[in-house]
Amino acid sequence: MFGMMLSAVQAYTVYTVLCSIFMVLMVLLSIAMIIIVVLQQGNTNNLGAIAGGAESFFGKNKARSLDGKFKRWTIIIAAAILVTSILFFVFMILRNALPQ
pTM assigned to the model:
0.71
Q: Is 91 exposed, middle or buried (0-12, 13-18, 19+ CB in 10 A)?
A: buried
- Of 76 and 47, the structure prediction assigns the larger pLDDT to 76
Residue 89 pLDDT greater than 90, yes or no: yes
What average pLDDT does range 70-99 have in this prediction? 93
Q: When comparing pLDDT for 73 and 46, which is higher?
A: 73
Long-range contacts of 29-33 (CB under 8 A, 24+ apart): 29/77, 29/80, 29/81, 29/84, 30/81, 32/77, 33/74, 33/77, 33/78, 33/81
Q: Decide which of 76 and 46 is more confident.
A: 76
Judge whether 65 and 58 are in contact, CB under 8 Å. Answer: yes
Check if the beta carbon of residue 93 is closer than 8 Å to that of residue 1.
no
Q: What is the structure's pLDDT at 59?
A: 55
